Amino acid sequence: MTSPQPDTDLIGKIRDIAGSGGVLTEAADVAPFYRDHRELFVGAGLCVARPRTTEEVAAIVRLCAERRVPVVPQGGNTGLVGGSVPDDTGNAVVISLARMNRIRELDAVNATMTVEAGCILQDLQDAARDADRLFPLSLGAEGSCMIGGNLSTNAGGIGVLKYGNARDLVLGLEVVLADGRVWNGLNGLRKDNTGYDLKHLFIGAEGTLGIITAAVMKLYPRPAAQETVFMAVPRIEDVMGLLNDARAASGDCVTAFELLPRLGLDLVLKHFEGTRAPLETVTPWYVLMQWSAGAGAGDAEAALRRALESFLEGRFEAGVITDAALAASEAQVKELWKLREVLPESQTREGGSIKHDVSVPVSRVSEFINRGTALLESHMPGIRVFPFGHVGDGNIHFNVTQPVGMTKAEFHGHWEEINRLTHDLVMEMDGSFSAEHGIGRLKRGELARYGDPLDLELMRRIKSVLDPDGIMNPGKVL
Ligand SMILES: Cc1cc2nc3c(=O)[nH]c(=O)nc-3n(C[C@H](O)[C@H](O)[C@H](O)COP(=O)(O)OP(=O)(O)OC[C@H]3O[C@@H](n4cnc5c(N)ncnc54)[C@H](O)[C@@H]3O)c2cc1C
């Protein structure tokens, strides 16, 4: 593609565009931009460009396009598949969107906000709250991931059950194309059937088709009441039925439904000081559930609580749940969510872990967990299977931890075969080997292996139309 020699002329020109603080070249400054969150990939680059405006992004991409220099868009660099960092050839320009962090407009009546790609997700939630609105996208990395990254990975998280993935929350986009032109699809229309809906090409494209610079995001009314409960559910086969019953009993008010295995809870209690088990009851499975209600007549909070208590009583009598802790204060809500949020990190602290972010039809979640667990336990006696996550969406983080006594290195030596067993089962069950984290570099081989040939052909053709010289985040996805 291009010469791997440091191109000081190009760096100087980028500095002319983005200002002296707009380019990083020193090893210590660029290092965090060249390694991914899980440190599975450490690359190299020509420099890190930090533009402040769409025009600056466009000018930098135009320069790179003229010289066929690859560009790697980066947001908060919290992605889990290695999509946001360059390879090790050293010839790419990383374009960090971090300085494009303005909320251009918040229209409370249209229920939208127009935001730049570098806005941190949590800041957008806060801005919506300040305007008495809800921005429902929520995930563990929300304190550092950015909306451009969320859109480029079509992020999921805990609110998908009610509000959908990132894709479902967008009305319009502004994108810098691979030749440096700006595609302006930045409208806030809820109805617009004027030909192909091009914005959806860029959502979930992981920076391989263009750079998202701004978006119009949907806002929602803030719920008048919210209840959070932690339940002991002895049988995995009862979990999805519990969700369906909860949706019916609440008038479809279930806004989160997260599965936690006992093993996960044990590791959280072991590795995180100050955490405590919410229930004394020891059972293989727990569910953390949240109900949110609109304004309703009378005291919405009391009404929601009564409905939830009566639902829990019924499930208790049916033997589906054996214990439950209802959060009585905001502090208790936070305590319960903390158990869920630190679950992946507790696994990392325990030692070697191999992670699968998979989905199956919601009706087959328990079948998948049972079959997958039996498969891996028979393959490697002592392996600790650790399924958790957003099961309300059919999304299971089917992670496994090393057997006690095995070294991390030895365990990681089995990475490929454990992936293969798990993903083969997922595909046999009409599922997806990447539910919400994307493809990046980590799962490119899996896409090539499991992807439908016609899907792959169409993706390649779209790529060649939008990025004929292959400069947009090369080596990712396809
Ligand atoms: C603790 C933790 C919890 C997480 N929980 C979840 C979860 O529940 N659900 C979920 O879906 N993910 C989750 N993730 C993964 C990650 O946070 C998301 O994928 C997030 O959306 C990435 O945003 P980012 O700004 O960090 O993007 P980055 O990591 O910087 O980039 C991700 C990809 O998008 C591209 N990109 C970034 N910005 C742009 C842009 N402006 N234009 C074009 N391309 C761009 C990059 O090139 C890369 O391919 C979690 C990660 C962590 C560390």
Ligand 1 atom, smallest distance to 157 CA: 8
The per-residue pLDDT for range 5-16, each reduced to its tens digit, is 568 899 999 999
Length of the chain measured in residues:
478
Residues with Cβ within 8 Å of 187's Cβ and at least 6 positions away in sequence, in order, are 171, 172, 216
Which H or E run contains 10? Answer: helix 8-18
Which H or E run contains 323? Answer: strand 323-326
Output the CA angle 146-181-54, nearest 5 degrees. 40
Residue 291 above 50 pLDDT? yes
- Residue 425 has a pLDDT of 98
Percent of all residues in the chain with a pLDDT value above 90, rounded to a whole number: 93
80, 137, 153, 175: residue to mutate for ligand 1 pocket, most atoms within 8 A of CB: 153
Give residue 371 CA to ligand 1 midpoint distance, Å: 30
57, 84, 175, 288: residue to mutate for ligand 1 pocket, most atoms within 8 A of CB: 84
Dihedral (CA of 255, 393, 265, 230) sign: positive
Residue 4 above 60 pLDDT? no
The per-residue pLDDT for range 364-406, each reduced to its tens digit, is 999 999 999 999 999 999 999 999 999 999 999 999 999 999 9
What single DSSP character describes residue 319?
T
Ligand 1 binding pocket includes 99 (Cβ within 6 Å): no
Note the CATH number of domain 225-335. 3.30.70.2190
Give residue 445 CA to ligand 1 midpoint distance, Å: 20
Percent of all residues in the chain with a pLDDT value above 70, rounded to a whole number: 98
In the chain, CATH 3.30.43.10 sits at: 8-96
Ligand 1 binding pocket includes 84 (Cβ within 6 Å): yes
Name the residue with the closest Cα to ligand 1, atom 28. 77
- Residue 170 has a pLDDT of 98
What is d(CA 310, CA 287) in angstroms, rounded to the nearest whole number? Answer: 17
Residue 297 above 80 pLDDT? no
Give residue 150 CA to ligand 1 midpoint distance, Å: 5
Q: Which CATH number among 3.40.33.10, 3.40.50.300, 3.30.465.10, 3.40.50.620 corresponds to the domain 103-221?
A: 3.30.465.10
Name the residue with the closest Cα to ligand 1, atom 15. 79
- Residue 1 has a pLDDT of 45
Ligand 1 binding pocket includes 165 (Cβ within 6 Å): no
What is d(CA 12, CA 410) in angstroms, rounded to the nearest whole number? Answer: 47
- Residue 436 has a pLDDT of 96
Token readout for 240 is 């999805």
Residue 126 above 90 pLDDT? yes
| Architecture label for domain 351-437 | 2-Layer Sandwich (3.30)
- Residue 127 has a pLDDT of 98
Ligand 1 binding pocket includes 149 (Cβ within 6 Å): yes
Angle between helices 8-18 and 54-66 (to 10 degrees): 160
Q: What is the mean pLDDT of residues 247-255?
A: 94
The per-residue pLDDT for range 427-475, each reduced to its tens digit, is 999 999 999 999 999 999 999 999 999 999 999 999 999 999 999 999 9
pLDDT band of residue 3 (cuts 50, 70, 90) is very low
Buried b (16+ CB within 10 A) or exposed e, 300-320: beeebbebbeebbeebeeeeb
Q: Which residue has the higher pLDDT, 214 or 4?
A: 214
The per-residue pLDDT for range 300-315, each reduced to its tens digit, is 888 899 999 999 999 9
Residue 476 above 60 pLDDT? yes
Tell which residue, 470, 286, 317, 468, has the closest CA to residue 387. 286
Name the residue with the closest Cα to ligand 1, atom 19. 79
- Residue 418 has a pLDDT of 97
Can you spell out the DSSP letters for 199-222? HHHHTTSTTSSEEEEEEEEE-EEP
Ligand 1 binding pocket includes 79 (Cβ within 6 Å): yes
In the chain, CATH 3.30.70.2740 sits at: 351-437
Cross-strand partners of 293: 225
The per-residue pLDDT for range 134-153, each reduced to its tens digit, is 999 999 999 999 999 999 99
Ligand 1 binding pocket includes 392 (Cβ within 6 Å): no
In the chain, CATH 3.30.70.2190 sits at: 225-335
Buried b (16+ CB within 10 A) or exposed e, 149-164: bbbbbbbbbbbbbbbb
Secondary structure E strands in 349-424: 353-354, 357-359, 384-388, 395-401
| Architecture label for domain 8-96 | 2-Layer Sandwich (3.30)
| Counts for the chain of helices (H) and strands (E), in that order | 17, 19
- Residue 296 has a pLDDT of 57
Ligand 1 binding pocket includes 185 (Cβ within 6 Å): no
Residue 257 above 90 pLDDT? yes
Name the residue with the closest Cα to ligand 1, atom 8. 157
Tell me what the pLDDT averaged over the chain comes to: 95
pLDDT band of residue 419 (cuts 50, 70, 90) is very high
CB 190 within 8 A of CB 198: no
Token readout for 216 is 């119009």
